[in-house]
Chains A and B, each alone.
Chain A
Amino acid sequence: MLRNYLKIALRNLKKYKIDSFISLSGLAIGLCCCIILIMYVRFEWSYDNFHTEKNSIYRLTEQTVNFRNNEVRHSTILPYPQSIALEEEFPEIKSLINISGGSAQFLKDGKYILEPIKFADPEFLSEFTFPLIFGDSKTALSNVDNIVITESAAKKYFGKTNAVGELMTIRLRDEPKDFMVSGIAKDVPANSSIQFNFLIPFENQISSAPAKEQKTLRESWYIGFLETWITLKEDATKEDLEAKFPAFLERHYGSNWVERDKIKYGLQPLSQVYFNENYRSGVTQSSNKTYSLILGSIAFVILLIAGINFMSLTLSRYTSRYHEIGIRKTVGAIRHQIKFQIIGEVFITCSFAIILGIVLAELLAPYSGVLFQKELDLSLLSDPVLWISVLGLLVILTLITSFYPAVKISGKNATSLFSDDKTAQKIPMLIKGLIVVQFGLAITLMIGTYVMQGQINFILNKDLGFNPENVVAVEINSELQNALKIGQLYSTEAERIPGVLSTSITAGKYRDYSEYGVVDIGMAQMRSVTTLSQLGDGIPSEAVDAQYLETMDIELLNGVNFSRQANSFPSDEIIVNQVFVDAMGWDNPIGQILEDKPENQGWVGPFDGKKVIGVIENYHFKSLYDPLQPMALQHIETVERNPGTILIRLSSDRMPETISNLKSLWNSIAGQEAFNLSFMDDMVQHQYNEEIRWNRIIRISSMASILLACFGLFGLSALVAQRRIKEIGIRKVFGASIKNILVLISKDFVLLVVCGFTISAPVAWYLSNQWLTGFSYKIDLDALPFLYGGLTVLLIALTTVSWQSVKAAFQNPVENLRNE
């Protein structure tokens, strides 16, 4: 008996090749997409799970309120003395680990290579789970001259894994220093929010600074440059410790300060670090939880669409099998045997599709990195969650799909099955409903994709107030004694190269740490204890030269630029932006002199006595997540700062040649230093890497879901056309034109898509609005994405359906009628 069912099932699959292929492969592809997407979502959610002590590790967070505009600021970048005080005053802290990020030059084959590094306290390796292959976790970082590197770094620098005992020559600042490799760590898992290849003891972060700055770094409560991580003793709780923070802050900052800035410290569990967007830092990676939720929902939607395909095709195939079931009844099949047959058949085809999907996912998983732009190790088949959910899916899909035909068909008596056979041409209501749901989902995704795309284009093309195109940044190691000389020589020489339009020396760093969600586009935060209360507690400032405005293409609104003649400028001139002027409430900014003397405190604010000589257009030196801030430009020679970057504006033609000329110029002037050149427009774009990456993932996934939906529509319209072939034949004999036939078949489906649109439009509108609220600068939601989304899907659907209708319409009616 089972064999008989199996035979029938297989032969039916064979007979209805197109729609079996579609329902099977559709489900398989859908499942494959779903598995891969869910795996990725699980990967995102698995961040930092691998730490064995994950439940007792916390990151210290700081929250302040800008008293000027009540804007809440979140930070994890804290000053050094708080860590000393915390450790001394709270015995419940088991260990306290400071971590900071930076970069250093590593000597390899006679040349220095810039590598990102992490500074960390010795307990780092024993509290976090970053196992060492060679060396001792407890002592590896206890000597200041030690370095721990990862396996792959060891291979890169020494060509072998066991490099313990080897020396590495590193320049943290100006002077090279030898570090001894004391441990080789296993490569950091991709799902770790703390990433490193080179790890050196934290003390180096401070001791490598210039002597006069070291004291400030050690003692100032106002300069943040590190993240503090804490593990608690077993009997201590997070809440108890947090309750003691207000008193702690008052002791050290004084009550005035705490009250004004509403400073709060908090402890953030390790498990919340990755998804907390409020605390973006250059030390730890973070991501937006919303995106992984969106992706998870898309995965679910794709599965739903594939499931609906499978269901609607299977269901509509059953209506053409009334005849067979009728015969079975006349030869003595009873109701539950028919049910069993239907359920069994569905179960078999369904398992087949699911196995196919898993195989497909397993084959494609290694390539999924291309889509996600993250290397992740997806070990699918060993994952019990996969098997359990797939089993669940099999059962659910089988039950839902077979329940309706099983109950409905098995209940009919044989005679009505024979006579219904000829009337079962219309699509059943249930299937129509499913199609509406399917297209509703697809259109929602499509609209969402358009809105997202629009927002991202808006951000990428927004007028930033400066022109990042054709500007390159050449980095200078600002710790070099003669950095300013090198910079000036290089920039003068560079201007002679044809294709270079202008150059400018600035103190800021232009560096791309986009994998940490941070891109530095110049600017230093002068955290002043300013009395300029209108400006808040910090003013971003950049030390530049007179060519800065020209090179960056920033408009001077009012006043004058710095003088171009060397040594002819008074040291107290600044240029401010329009927001600065607005915040100060000046009607006449030019010539204003700032007063920045805090009461009762010994030191002078950085802007005290500065005179405003010019006002420039506001420009976005930070990403568009941040609103515009007041900022000031100072001349680099007046602030005794070394240059960090030479900005060069190039002409757009023959750029490769110009760049290679710039490189050879660099080698002749500063041969031992590595040549680091980056494009400003790339850096600007990289600020939104995370958004661009997610947009891509989401766009591709929604395309997949729409294609799947159309896949199903294709199968269904084929089925309908096939079933209405006699009707079409008769109509043609009696004079229907091909156009009439096309309309006849397509109009039902078009109506369903329109219904889907009506349902999805408000949903899409709500969701898009929700997403957009996260941006400071955003597009207005208008009808266009809705129009595009609806039309795209309608067009795709129409093409799909007409493929079948055209085929049916062009068939010779005589043939069709004879076949009946």
Chain B
Amino acid sequence: MIKLRNIDRYIDKRLQRNFILKGIDLDIAEGDFVSIMGPSGAGKSTLLNIIGFLDDANEGEYYFLDEPVHSLNEKQKSEYHRSYIGFVFQAYHLIDELTVYENIEMPLLYRKVKGSQRKSMVADMLDRFNIVAKKDLFPNQLSGGQQQLVGVARALIGSPKLILADEPTGNLHSDQSKEIMETFKKLNKEDGVTIIQVTHSDEMASYGDRVINLQDGAVTENNPYEEE
């Protein structure tokens, strides 16, 4: 599903070129549940953002579903982005001015889904995450775990093929984290959604079936657990 070849991402500073990512080669198949791990500053989030079309690589080739992303224009990228990818963030990134319902609904608006259909899809999602009672609340009226559930619900509403989660449980305590990870696992197993998460925690990584270790912008270990 995802094929990265020799991806570089750097920042030029006067005479020096600082590499965030260097020479990344990576293949991820549809249906994988991958955890990206590594110390702070290793380039985990940058890698995730590149995979999710939020950031562009400076060098290298990126094929998404065999489509060369590096040569797509913004509109085409946006098209892929909308129909295949859902994001979950550590800081939830919900819009403060919108209610739970409206936050979940937002991606559908950009997808130009019709009103009645939108309603049923959102209702479905609220139901699925057991937050129907909270649909008219604003994000700051929810706990962190609940906010993240909304974040996940928003990521899922467009029924994406790929979910990118940047430390989704980083701000949560363990019970909440478990709930989120169980949800991911269920999605992965039952609906075949590909999931890539960045995490610091071995426990969270263990929900997945593959781990990629990043160190100083390079992949040091691909799938350490599998080889055990």
Listed in ascending order, the chain A residues whose CB lies under 8 Å from chain B are: 1, 4, 7-8, 11-12, 15, 323-324, 326-335, 337, 413-415, 418
Closest CB in chain B relative to A560 CB, distance in Å: 91
Contacts of A8 in B (CB 8 A): 95, 97-98
Closest CB in chain B relative to A477 CB, distance in Å: 79
Are A330's CB and B93's CB within 8 A? Answer: yes
Contacts of B111 in A (CB 8 A): 332
Contacts of B107 in A (CB 8 A): 331-332
Contact of B109 among A1, A329, A413 (CB under 8 A): A1
Are B87's CB and A331's CB within 8 A? Answer: yes
A334 to B, closest residue via Cβ: B78
Distance in angstroms between the alpha carbons of A327 and B107 in the assembled complex: 10
Contact of B97 among A12, A331, A413, A418 (CB under 8 A): A12
Are A7's CB and B98's CB within 8 A? Answer: yes
Write out, one digit per residue, whether chain B residues 4-33 have a CB within 8 A of any chain A CB (1) or not (0): 000000000000000000000000000000
Chain B CB count within 10 A is highest, among A1, A330, A333, for A330
Distance in angstroms between the alpha carbons of A637 and B131 in the assembled complex: 108
Are A332's CB and B82's CB within 8 A? Answer: yes
Closest CB in chain B relative to A317 CB, distance in Å: 12
Contacts A4-B98, A324-B97, A332-B110 aside, 7 further interface pairs with beta carbons under 8 A come to A15-B96, A327-B93, A328-B110, A330-B52, A330-B54, A337-B110, A415-B54
A4 to B, closest residue via Cβ: B109
Distance in angstroms between the alpha carbons of A4 and B95 in the assembled complex: 12
Are A4's CB and B106's CB within 8 A? Answer: yes
A418 to B, closest residue via Cβ: B93
Closest CB in chain B relative to A723 CB, distance in Å: 15
Contacts of B89 in A (CB 8 A): 330
Are A327's CB and B94's CB within 8 A? Answer: yes
Contacts of B202 in A (CB 8 A): none
Chain A CB count within 10 A is highest, among B75, B78, B154, for B78
Q: What are 7 pairs between A and B in contact, CB < 8 Å?
A: A4-B105, A8-B95, A323-B93, A330-B87, A332-B107, A332-B158, A414-B49
Distance in angstroms between the alpha carbons of A511 and B116 in the assembled complex: 82
Are A415's CB and B93's CB within 8 A? Answer: no
Chain B CB count within 10 A is highest, among A1, A332, A335, A414, for A332
Are A335's CB and B74's CB within 8 A? Answer: yes
| B161 lies within 8 A of chain A by Cβ | no
Write out, one digit per residue, whether chain B residues 47-72 have a CB within 8 A of any chain A CB (1) or not (0): 00100101110000000000000000
Given the known interface contacts A323-B93, A326-B93, A418-B93, the answer about A331 and B110 at a Cβ–Cβ threshold of 8 Å is yes
The list of the 6 closest CB pairs from A to B, nearest first, reads A332-B82, A11-B97, A331-B107, A334-B78, A332-B110, A414-B54
Listed in ascending order, the chain B residues whose CB lies under 8 Å from chain A are: 49, 52, 54-56, 74-75, 78, 81-82, 87, 89, 93-98, 102, 105-107, 109-112, 154, 158
Contacts of A7 in B (CB 8 A): 97-98, 102
Distance in angstroms between the alpha carbons of A334 and B112 in the assembled complex: 13
Closest CB in chain B relative to A424 CB, distance in Å: 16
Are A324's CB and B74's CB within 8 A? Answer: no
Are B98's CB and A413's CB within 8 A? Answer: no
Closest CB in chain A relative to B54 CB, distance in Å: 5
B157 to A, closest residue via Cβ: A331
Distance in angstroms between the alpha carbons of A328 and B78 in the assembled complex: 12
Distance in angstroms between the alpha carbons of A645 and B49 in the assembled complex: 95
Closest CB in chain A relative to B43 CB, distance in Å: 13
Are B102's CB and A334's CB within 8 A? Answer: no
Contact of B49 among A12, A327, A415 (CB under 8 A): A415
Are A324's CB and B95's CB within 8 A? Answer: yes
Are A332's CB and B93's CB within 8 A? Answer: no
Distance in angstroms between the alpha carbons of A327 and B49 in the assembled complex: 13
A15 to B, closest residue via Cβ: B97
Distance in angstroms between the alpha carbons of A520 and B54 in the assembled complex: 82
Are B55's CB and A415's CB within 8 A? Answer: yes
A332 to B, closest residue via Cβ: B82
Are A413's CB and B54's CB within 8 A? Answer: yes
Contacts of B87 in A (CB 8 A): 330-331
A331 to B, closest residue via Cβ: B107
Closest CB in chain B relative to A14 CB, distance in Å: 9
Distance in angstroms between the alpha carbons of A330 and B87 in the assembled complex: 7
Contacts of A335 in B (CB 8 A): 74
Are B75's CB and A334's CB within 8 A? Answer: yes
B78 to A, closest residue via Cβ: A334
Contact of B110 among A15, A324, A333 (CB under 8 A): A333
Chain A CB count within 10 A is highest, among B97, B102, B154, B158, for B97
Contacts of A12 in B (CB 8 A): 97
B48 to A, closest residue via Cβ: A415
Contacts of A1 in B (CB 8 A): 109-110, 112
Are A413's CB and B55's CB within 8 A? Answer: yes
Distance in angstroms between the alpha carbons of A572 and B47 in the assembled complex: 113
Distance in angstroms between the alpha carbons of A418 and B95 in the assembled complex: 12
Contacts of A4 in B (CB 8 A): 98, 102, 105-106, 109
Distance in angstroms between the alpha carbons of A332 and B106 in the assembled complex: 9
Distance in angstroms between the alpha carbons of A434 and B111 in the assembled complex: 39
Contacts of A329 in B (CB 8 A): 54
Closest CB in chain B relative to A320 CB, distance in Å: 11
Distance in angstroms between the alpha carbons of A323 and B93 in the assembled complex: 8
